[in-house]
Amino acid sequence: MTFLSVNVNKVAVLRNSRGGRLPDPLDAARCAIAAGCDGITVHPRPDQRHVRPEDVVRIAQVLGRAEFNIEGNPFAPPREGYPGLLELVRQARPAQVTLVPDSDGQLTSDHGFDLSRHDAQLQSLIKAFKQEGCRVSLFVDAASPGIGRVADYGADRIEIYTGPYAANFSDNASSEELDRCVATATEANALGLGVNAGHDLDQQNLGSLLSAIPDITEVSIGHALFSEALYFGLAETVRRYLDIIRGSSPPS
């Protein structure tokens, strides 16, 4: 069964645009968990334009049965107000950390790691995160060469960047981008890696992805989910995504 992890970053963006405390991403996390989601994802950036370090620690304290997934660039150094990703993991103790190669200037994550060459620093960082007791997932492009290096580095999973799949989605035909995702998941599974997926997934394209790759372990969804929640409410939108997942995945 595929797990749904709700990314609450967009709630923090709305709060930060006004200042003050509202809306609180902690409340959004509680609502999503009460509606049945399996986990909460946050992506604290060094410039603090999304979820902030103090939000990460607060959310970690209310998760209950739900898993916590912290995304971030492991190479971004600490700075005022941001202790660095590794230190945040030490404070929040997430079940999973997803390493993403985004720079400060990126509006959103839009590519995976370059796996075409060995990166000793990345391998060392993955070891450090695993020593903190969390699962490590690496953000990768579909059909990226060198998936085998993810296993060599000691990571547990990949997260397939599904932005190109979503941008080229069609209800009527299997796209080349979907085929790339399928091939990447197949290769990762053969290497003993778990497969997550995320970015621009929504109620229209999620079912087709899960039908093509039923062994996806987790999908992380934020932007589309909160866009739809403006009209249907957060709890109802979470339940709609869970219905899609249950309808596309074989029984566990």
Which positions are annotated as active-site residues? 43, 71, 199
Q: In a 3-state reduction of DSSP, which class is residue 71?
A: strand
Nearest to 98 by CA among 229, 195, 176, 224: 195
Nearest to 220 by CA among 76, 95, 124: 95
Residues 62, 26 contacting (CB under 8 angstroms):
yes
User: Rounded to an integer, what distance in angstroms lies between the CA atom of residue 38 and that of residue 78?
Assistant: 30
Cα 168 to the center of its chain, rounded Å: 20
Cα 5 to the center of its chain, rounded Å: 7
- In sign, the C-alpha dihedral spanning 21, 26, 29, 35 is negative
User: Rounded to an integer, what distance in angstroms lies between the CA atom of residue 95 and that of residue 3?
Assistant: 13
Residues 13, 49 contacting (CB under 8 angstroms):
yes
Residues 252, 1 contacting (CB under 8 angstroms):
yes
Residue with tokens 């995504």: 241
